[in-house]
Amino acid sequence: MYLQIAAGRLTLTLCEFIRQADEEWGTSDMSNTRMLWRIAGTAGLLTTLLLIAGLVYGIKTVLVPQGETLESAVPSASAAPERRDKLQILALGDSLTRGVGDDDAEGYVGKVKKLLENKTEKPVFVWNYAVSGAATTEMLADIAKPAAQDYIAQADIILFTIGGNDLNRVATQIAGFTGASTPAPAVSPAAGIASGAPASEGSASPGTAALPGDISFDYAALAKEFPSSINRLETIIDKLATANPKAQIVYVGLYHPFAEFDPERQAAEWIGRWNNAAFVASNRHSNVTVVPTYDLFQNFGQELLYTDHFHPNTAAYEEIAARVAQVIRTGG
């Protein structure tokens, strides 16, 4: 475009120059006239070349544009991700994730939901498939179901508790009470997911009698079963983390509900081993976090336990929820 304008201006300037020279010199001076026409011919040639160059440039610009390239059209790695308009929480595991002991019938999961809604101003949806009494055996079978895999893949956040029943079924012996402190579920946790509906809502009865005054621990039985339970815990963490690498996965660690019956702190040592194993397993995955709870109950004891002396009460669930919500990233 600019080359064509320059050529036009050059032609006009040359014509004006020849006209003025012809008026001054006249037609008698033939040598001057010939010189003028040589100049005019040279200028005409230059004008033609400029016009041709402009035409070539124009064709190139139209047919082969040099604007946005393929590379520039691809978003850079630092480009901001698309903002989600909602958050989806999948809750799995045992009675703690079910919310047993909470007078508000929410548990820590329901309270985390509220905290995240207030923090993000987004709607938060919860699929709670935790079942009271579940141990690692049931949960491992649960997450292997195809329906469970679908929920895991869709979740933004996965919350779970597991392990308390593994230890209590084996080690805790309560005088006048047969079986574990929290009985095994009548229905596998997988049944809820297989049916496509969450387990029953609310603060279900823990199914335990009031804690008697005489309680003991079978450490020999615990030592025998402990390695296989830990192996199942590690497998659960690995499977969840790899099934949805983008989800934020939070495992809520174990506390000691029977500390007052454990003056020598032997049971506390096994709970510590369990929690340490959970930390080690979670450190293999960048999307898994362990939230500790042991110190809460260690410092406040019976003040944070429900009337069954085993599950957290409403105040305890609020403390747990605050810790869980704190480690969940909500940006983007």
Q: Taking the domains of the chain in order of start, what are their residue ranges?
A: 2-70, 87-327
What pLDDT score was predicted for residue 19?
59
pLDDT tens digits for 163-194?
Answer: 999 998 877 765 444 434 444 333 334 444 54
pTM: 0.68
At 201 the pLDDT is 39
Question: Tokens representing 190?
Answer: 């997988």
At residue 264, φ and ψ (nearest 5 deg) are -90, 0
In the prediction, which pLDDT does 147 show?
93
d(CA 49, CA 43): 10
CATH number 3.40.50.1110 given to 87-327 = yes
The three-state DSSP-derived secondary structure of the chain is: CHHHHHHHHHHHHHHHHHHHHHHHHCCCCHHHHHHHHHHHHHHHHHHHHHHHHHHHHHHHHHHCCCCCCHHHHCCCCCCCCCCCCCEEEEEEECHHHHCCCCCCCCHHHHHHHHHHHHHHCCCEEEEECCCCCCCHHHHHHHHCCHHHHHHHHHCCEEEEECCHHHHHHHHEEECCCCCCCCCCCCCCHHHHHHHCCCCCCCCCCCCCCCCCCCEEECHHHHHHHHHHHHHHHHHHHHHHHHHCCCCEEEEECCCCCCHHHCCCCHHHHHHHHHHHHHHHHHCCCCCEEEECCHHHHHHHHHHHECCCCCCECHHHHHHHHHHHHHHCCCCC
Instruction: Tell me which residues of the chain have a pLDDT lower than 50.
Output: 2-5, 55-83, 175-192, 194-197, 199-212
Q: How many residues does the chain have?
A: 332
CB 204 within 8 A of CB 98: yes
Task: Note the pLDDT of residue 299.
Answer: 76
pLDDT tens, position by position, 51-104: 555 544 443 433 333 333 223 333 333 333 444 789 999 999 999 999 999 999
